[in-house]
Chains A and B, each alone.
Chain A
Amino acid sequence: MNVGIVSYGAYIPRYRIKVEDIARVWGDDADILIAGLMVNEKSVPDLDEDTATIAVEAARSAIIRSDTDAQRIGAVYTGSESHPYAVKPTSTIVAEAVGATPVMTAADFEFACKAGTAAIQACMGLVGSGMIDLGLAIGADVSQGAPGDALEYTAAAGGVAYLIGNKKSELAAIIEDTYSFTTDIPDFWRREGMPYPEHGGRFTGEPGYFKHVTSAANGLMEKIDTKPADYDYAVFHQPNGKFPTRVAKMLGFSKEQITPGLVVPRLGNTYSGSCMMGIAATLDMAQPGDRIFATAFGSGAGGDAFSITVTDRIEEIRNGAPSVEDLLKDPIYMDYAMYAKHKGKIRLA
């Protein structure tokens, strides 16, 4: 397969709430939570931000970074579990706002936290087969955690967009291959019309995250005959800091390999943007020739593994748009009351 990343762009809202501010409201021990989750704070959307605005900002950043003509985009796929409409695509809003319409296809994806990487795979197929010139794959969320629920400590907001292409001279990184592992697991769900998701307790860890991430990761390394030592960096879905750190160790990756892409302690879980944000943060500092191993996870459940090699082109596009570190800098902190207002947790009659 001669497909890869032509460009990438990220967006993170400026607001943050600290874990200790949430813990204070619910009477939890902040120190235990911070140590256990390995998350210090999480991003919060502004009052006028949602998945569509975040997806647009990330997509524009990707297009600007590589100075690409948006009319070349033949498919726009937005992965999210918090699309603003139940019926009406986020992707048409994005496509119109980046100037990619009208000769293109578009659809919204949903697969809990890995809808964005599923969109990347769909774009890989379309550009790999020559059906389209460029594909725009986005993972964006303004994820929800019920007040007082464990998910409230990590459910964050952010998005990442990848331009996927097949012209060798344009590729900032080649996606050598991808491999998915998918089964039906009741670890996390949100019913139609319900404001907050539910999680299936013990299904979250071993049968959900760890089984699917390790199976997808091992499956890909077996398929293309690589091993953890062949990679300079690794990124795993980061619902918290603990899970990716543990799964990296289980698979044989070192702490040094995952550190550049482990953005969750300062960001929280951006759901569909989570693993893709880690890959973006790694691309921000990777050198030509570096190899990146990445595995996204989505509850429900599935794992998408990718083997990526960075090319010389990365140096030409890297500074064309803000880095993930730029977006994490200079946050505005808010207390729980303002956070509740921003997230619509205060229901008015």
Chain B
Amino acid sequence: MSVPRFWRKQVNRYNLIGTHCKECDEYYYPPRNLCPTCRRDGELESYKFNGEGEIVTYTIIHTAAEGFEHQTPYALAIIKLDEGPRLTSQIIGKPEEMKIGMRVKSVFRKLGQDSDRGMIYYGTKFIPA
């Protein structure tokens, strides 16, 4: 990921900040510029999620992408936040302990880096609650 691309959504990744439509009461993560339901009638506000949710489904990665080779095996899950939105995140913990419906909470971790000379990217991952 390029440095500017990461930086643009940095605060959202650090603090799980998305958006909430005051018109239809829907929550979005990542943040949206327009409510897809209400369109022009929608009224979006910035919203910080409480960081808790549950695993909807997960997979165990054994053959990882570049930069993650030495973390295998690790769990990648779709998490449903308590406010509603779903997001994909790595789950910190033993792969054999993962299960659908498991409660998780957010933590601050390194997401990756651009080689030993490049930027380090930080953000949100999840651990069993």
Contact = CB atoms under 8 A, between A and B. Distances in A.
Interface of A: 46-50, 52-53, 56-57, 60, 84-85, 93, 96-97, 99, 341
A93 B122 contact: yes
A190 B113 CA distance: 24
Nearest to A54: B108
B125 interface: yes
Contact of B70 (A46, A47, A49, A57): A47
Contacts of B48: 99
B89 to A, nearest CB: 12
Given A48-B71, A56-B108, A84 B120 contact: yes
Contact of B122 (A46, A53, A60): A53
B110 A50 contact: yes
B106 to A, nearest CB: 10
A85 B120 contact: yes
- Chain B interface size, as a band, is 10 to 19
B87 interface: no
B75 to A, nearest CB: 13
Contacts of A46: 92, 109
Contact of B109 (A49, A93, A99, A341): A49
A110 B71 CA distance: 30
Given A50-B110, A53-B110, 5 more contacts: A46-B109, A48-B71, A48-B92, A52-B110, A97-B14
Interface in B14-47: 14-15
Contacts of B125: 48
Contact of A53 (B10, B70, B71, B108): B108
Contacts of A97: 14-15, 108, 122
A96 B11 contact: yes
Nearest to A55: B108
23 contacts: A46-B92, A47-B70, A47-B71, A48-B71, A48-B111, A48-B125, A49-B110, A50-B110, A52-B110, A52-B122, A53-B108, A53-B109, A53-B110, A53-B122, A56-B108, A56-B122, A57-B107, A84-B120, A96-B11, A97-B14, A97-B15, A99-B15, A99-B48
Contact of A48 (B10, B14, B15, B110): B110
A121 B12 CA distance: 32
A52 B110 CA distance: 9
A101 to B, nearest CB: 9
A220 to B, nearest CB: 35
Interface in B92-116: 92, 107-111
B8 to A, nearest CB: 13
Nearest to B92: A46
B70 A341 contact: yes
A341 B111 CA distance: 17
A84 B113 CA distance: 11
A16 B64 CA distance: 26
A57 B71 contact: no
Query: Which of B10, B48, B107 has the most chain A CB within a 10 Å cutoff?
Result: B107
Contacts of A50: 110, 120
Contacts of A48: 71, 92, 109-111, 125
Which 8 A-B pairs have CB atoms at the shortest separation, nearest pair first?
Answer: A48-B110, A56-B108, A48-B109, A97-B14, A53-B108, A53-B109, A47-B71, A84-B120
Contact of A57 (B10, B11, B108, B120): B108
Contact of A96 (B14, B109, B111): B14
Contacts of B109: 46, 48-49, 53
A84 B122 CA distance: 11
Contacts of A93: 122
A233 B116 CA distance: 44
